[in-house]
Amino acid sequence: MSVTTSPPLKGIKVVELGTLIAGPFCTRILAEFGAEVIKIESPDGGDQLRQWRKMYAGTSLWWYVQARNKKSITVNMRVAEGQKIVRRLCADADIVVENFRPGALEKWNLGFDQLAKVNPRLVMVRLSGYGQTGPYRDRPGFGVIGESMGGLRYVTGYADRPPVRLGISLGDSIAALYGVIGAMMAMHHRNVNGGRGQVVDVALYEAVFSTMESLVPEFDVLGFIRERAGNALPGIVPSNTYPTRDGKFVIIGANNDAIFKRLMAAIGREELANDPALATNAGRVARTAELDGAIADWARRHVLDYVLRVLEQAQVPSGKVFDIADIMQDAHYIARGMLEQHALPDGKPMKLPGIVPKLSETPGATAWLGPRLGEHNAEVLGALGYDDAQQRDLKLRRVI
């Protein structure tokens, strides 16, 4: 197998107008695979993500991941001269990604219709809480709202407690992935089918809603509302999380008929393995509590390492619940290149998550970490024809 030196998106120019999570995560993926991503930030401090969560030497550690391979320039998009810079950047761009509230770019004379006049081939990815149309379009919407309206929060947690938040901003990330997919489809249509540029309209709630499996037909046909079920997988048995003797947890998914028999034999419950009433999932669902109890009793008597070893030998899908310390020392993560070694600006070593997906011929790569605010002003503005004196003047007047 040969690996080419050119990344798959080499030659693709992307202008990022977004902040925080959804828009910048979308462009991060494009940058990881070789697109030139020019991130436009406010001269007044830049993207707020630079100051979010854990900091090191005045900069968020998250920033170095989210903005890797991007070029940072500062532009005040609220003034006419700043808008002119953005339009000049977009004149030969392939993709623009933004996640402002609908109507904001139009107010700044940077909407799709305005940019398409200077570049009819432009693809604009627009990520927002509720989409560019509809009665809710003007409402502010973050990932947490998308997760709630999309149905995810309602089914997350335990039936006797309020819905819970997932540990990450999953709604933003799902929307970002749809943004990448939409951009690639629009580019293919433009480049292969002779089409024009177009808008990729991604609403956070719709991105979440699209992952919600069978909720719609189950309610529409049967009137069934899926409820919170904790760690169990409703209607699929056995599939749950079980505590072990050393205070850890094992996840076991033995919902296939043959796997169920192997699991019962492995934990010494041959009578359950050979019970005809438990030969199919429907029979097991009727006895969920009994089966979960049997598995839990066995797991509680043993430490996690022993439990995992027995289950692996029996070819039963299982795994421990990884925290980040487990991940950082896991042999499989390391072998798959999912922990990249880099260095912070002062030389301090720092690992970053590896790049997904893995392409056999044109893999993605980390060329540099998230840049300083405005680090690429001279390079990018110089390429647009602004000489040193003009750039100094723009800076003095807070245009950049």
Which residues does the annotation mark as catalytic? 172
Find out whether 26 and 101 touch, Cβ atoms under 8 Å: no
Find out whether 344 and 328 touch, Cβ atoms under 8 Å: no
**Cα dihedral 69→71→76→80 (10° resolution):** -120
For helices 304-313 and 257-266, give the axis angle rounded to 10 degrees: 130
Find out whether 336 and 354 touch, Cβ atoms under 8 Å: yes
What whole-number distance in Å separates Cα of residue 390 and Cα of residue 243?
A: 65
Residue 328 three-state SS: helix
What whole-number distance in Å separates Cα of residue 127 and Cα of residue 150?
A: 15
What whole-number distance in Å separates Cα of residue 161 and Cα of residue 327?
A: 30
Q: Considering only CA atoms, which of 169, 168, 165 is closest in space to residue 141?
A: 169
Q: Considering only CA atoms, which of 176, 183, 210 is closest in space to residue 199?
A: 183
Q: How many Cβ atoms are within 10 Å of 232's Cβ, its own excluded?
A: 16
Find out whether 291 and 261 touch, Cβ atoms under 8 Å: no
